Amino acid sequence: MLMTGLLLSTILIVQPVHSVLAVTRSTQASLEIDKNQTTANEVKGLEQQSVPQSENHNQEENLSTDSELTTVNEVSEIINENVEKQMESTLIKGKWGTASTIFDTVTQVLTIENGQLSSTDISLGVDTLKVKQIIFGENVSATEDSSELFVEFEQLEQMTGQLLTQNVVTMSKMFKGLAKLTKLDVSKWETSSVEDMSEMFAGVNQLRELDLSGWNMTKVHTTKNMFTGTLSLAKLTLGKEVIFPNIDASSDNNQKTDEQLHQGRWTRINPTLPEVTYENGLDLLTKYDGQNPGIYVSNPPKKT
């Protein structure tokens, strides 16, 4: 009897313990779930809070980018303005007769357009000694009396473009003394009205070749000293209407006339036939009559 009572008491005690353990485990699980839910909610809340922050960051980045673009554009505009001002400062506008001129102080190039040149009315706005190249643009013509037209440009090295010369009567001393001139294109000049070409190229001692093939010199009455001092000139292209009247070949003037052209033998190289040769520059100038046009070159005289 006593043993039976003890067993019943033990069973009654054990059952409540199991119940308590079950309740405890259930409570812990519930708490764990609540904890997990709380953590999830907190994370979600943080994510929701981070979205505006991210958007704000993007907005800040956009504002920064816009600011940078604005700064770059402003700098670019300033640079462009400075470049334009610098370009304007290097270009000097002027007048030569009725023609408009622009001189580039950097390249030292004088560009001329639209008008008639005058040997007495030069208002370039710059010293003519600074000009190293002349470029003729559209519609630039020379006046009837174009004597000494370019003599003030003592540092001139090149002249290109088309100068209209159909009305010119006098070309006397036109390029006289231009000792640095090395390139001169006059091949298309209209010279049918010209009467005076005296001393036209005198002293142009760096010029090595000249093309006169298109020139009409039938009205020219004097070419006296036309090539005096042009000792570097070693190639001449002559046409059918080229003549050199009034070249003084008298014995009293031999010293002066010997300075005309290179004093080597002049030979026609194109065309080669028939063979044409002149003993020296003076011989060429006094005897050439247009019957044998072509390209002539000079050779140094043979040593004796």
Asked whether residue 87 carries a pLDDT value surpassing 50, the answer given is yes
Q: Is the C-alpha dihedral spanning 131, 133, 138, 139 positive or negative?
A: positive
Separation of alpha carbons 173 and 31, rounded Å: 117
pTM, two decimals, is 0.69
Higher pLDDT, 139 or 86: 139
Looking at residues 95-109, what average pLDDT do you find? 97
3-class DSSP assignment, residue 202: coil
What are the Cα distances from residue 199, in Å, to 10, 226, 248, 266, 299?
149, 4, 13, 21, 24
Higher pLDDT, 77 or 254: 77
Segment among 79-88, 123-132, 218-227, 292-301 with least mean pLDDT: 79-88
Q: 102: closest CA among 122, 128, 127, 125? A: 125
Q: Rounded mean pLDDT of the chain? A: 79
Per residue, the 3-state secondary structure of 217-282, as one string, reads CCCCCECCCCCECCCCCCEEEECCCCCCCCCCCCHHHHHHHCCECCCCEEEEEECCCCCCEECCHH
β-sheet bridge partners, residue 210: 236
Largest CA distance in the chain: 179
pLDDT confidence of residue 300: 56
Looking at residues 36-49, what average pLDDT do you find? 48
Q: Is the C-alpha dihedral spanning 30, 33, 39, 42 positive or negative?
A: negative
Segment among 42-56, 111-125, 138-152, 178-192 with least mean pLDDT: 42-56
65 HSE (CA, 13 A, CB side)? 6
Asked whether residue 180 carries a pLDDT value surpassing 70, the answer given is yes
Higher pLDDT, 304 or 170: 170
